[in-house]
Amino acid sequence: MYIFLILLISIFQNKLTHACEEEIFPYIICSKHIIGKGSFGVVHLATLYKNRNSQIKIAIKKITHYKDEDEQKLINKEIDLLNKLSNESIYFPKFYGTYTENKDCTKCIIMELAYKDMHMFIIENYTHMPKIKKEVIIYNFFRQLYEALMYLHEQNIVHKDLKPGNILIFKNGDKFNLKIGDLGTLSKAGDSVTETQCTLWYRSPEQILWDLYPYIPLKHDPSQDIWSAAMVIIELLTIDPLCRGKFIIQGEEKEDVIGQFMLTMKLCHGENKVEYISELSGHIKDVDKAALYSGCQSKDRQYTEEIERISAFNLANGSGNSLITTILNWDPKNRLSAREILEKFLASATKKK
């Protein structure tokens, strides 16, 4: 009787917004256990009861700012995209529906439960694995990440905030697969950049430069995702973010955008980097020019060693060394597309077998 009452209460508290979903998913019990936090709110662990004998663990993303009109538009966009993408591609989490908690107008998105995000996977799993298993995981993640981007980019969509915390890892036995999360940041390719959404350490050079001088026109472009994805893959090799622009004030870590640009330009490949800064010199403050030129002209020993380490790693049976460095081109026009990357990656891997 007690269990029946709990389930009955749950039905009314967690009613789904779509009638078809009500028929498939009779009720949900959301636990107090929080498995993720962000600026949007929190993610709770929950149980979806299909019937008396069938249940699955799910995630419920609770957005606490849903009263705000702009937030509503953003969240509704994420819901629509999640519904669409999860039905069309294996690289996005399954979407089960939504409901609203009327007591505080919290919007709740019901979706597939991940094993953990890539950030936690690197810390808790990956660092303790033998090298041979790491190679397999990097090979698979490289392919899956760029296949997901190929799907998005060929629909003229840009993610804008790829980083380990926004990539979800799913476990099937002893195998790991990834899916891309946080779809609220997605935009149309070609739209003008009006704010920075990509996390600093994963921004492309042109995104960082726009951060410094937002009056220099910049449009959302797939090449920016290509850069961010490469930095994610490199993080699997280096364990920590490779470019970490920061400074410490009274023990508190602050973002250092100029420092990030310098680090990024030391890392990236391609010709005419200095000429690029010269072309923009009319937009750049004199106080910044020396630092920016320095970043373009020198190769820091730390980054030379890291690139050598990456090149030495047997990614995709040897295909990864030149491929990673080719992707890290300072000029977005000279970066490979996701399809081109996959063609080179898979062709080289097949040739090596």
Give the percent of the chain with pLDDT over 70.
70
Domain ranges of the chain: 15-112, 116-352
From the number of C-beta atoms within 10 Å of its C-beta (0-12, 13-18, 19+), residue 228 rates as: buried
> What is the per-residue pLDDT for 291?
54
pLDDT confidence of 126, banded at 50, 70, 90?
Answer: confident
Measured distance CA(46)–CA(56) in Å, rounded: 9
Measured distance CA(165)–CA(156) in Å, rounded: 23
The more confident residue out of 249 and 162 is 162
pLDDT digits (tens, 9 = 90+) for 170-192: 999 888 999 998 888 888 998 99
**Pairing of the two strands 41-51 and 54-63:** antiparallel
In a 3-state reduction of DSSP, which class is residue 261? helix
Dihedral angle sign, alpha carbons of residues 63, 64, 66, 72: negative
In a 3-state reduction of DSSP, which class is residue 180? strand
pLDDT digits (tens, 9 = 90+) for 55-69: 889 999 888 766 677
Measured distance CA(60)–CA(347) in Å, rounded: 40
Would you state the structure tokens that stand for residue 163, as one six-digit string? 């980083």
Region 297-303 average pLDDT: 48
Query: 116-352: what CATH class?
Result: mainly alpha
Closest CA to 87 of 143, 151, 30, 169: 151
Phi, psi for residue 282 in degrees, rounded to 5: -70, -20
Strands (E), the chain: 27-38, 41-51, 54-63, 95-101, 106-112, 116-117, 157-158, 167-172, 175-180, 187-188, 246-249, 252-255
Query: 15-112: what CATH class?
Result: alpha beta
Task: Kindly report the number of other CB atoms within 10 A of residue 168's CB atom.
Answer: 25
Q: Is the pLDDT of residue 316 over 70?
A: no
> What is the per-residue pLDDT for 278?
60
Give the percent of the chain with pLDDT over 90.
22
Closest CA to 213 of 162, 266, 279, 274: 279
53-88: b (≥16 Cβ within 10 Å) or e: eeeeebbbbbbebbeeeebeebbeebbebbbebbee
> What is the per-residue pLDDT for 285?
56
In a 3-state reduction of DSSP, which class is residue 326? helix
HSE-CB at 307 with a 13 A cutoff on CA atoms is 19
Q: Is the pLDDT of residue 338 over 80?
A: yes
Would you state the structure tokens that stand for residue 135, as one six-digit string? 């190679």
Q: Enumerate residues 6+ apart whose C-beta is below 8 A from 225.
A: 149, 152, 153, 158, 159, 160, 162, 338
| Residue 69 DSSP label | H
| The one-letter amino acid at 278 | S
Taking the alpha carbons at both ends of the chain, their separation in whole angstroms is 62
15-112 and 116-352 in the same fold: no
The more confident residue out of 306 and 165 is 165
CA 133-135-139 angle, to 5 degrees, is 120
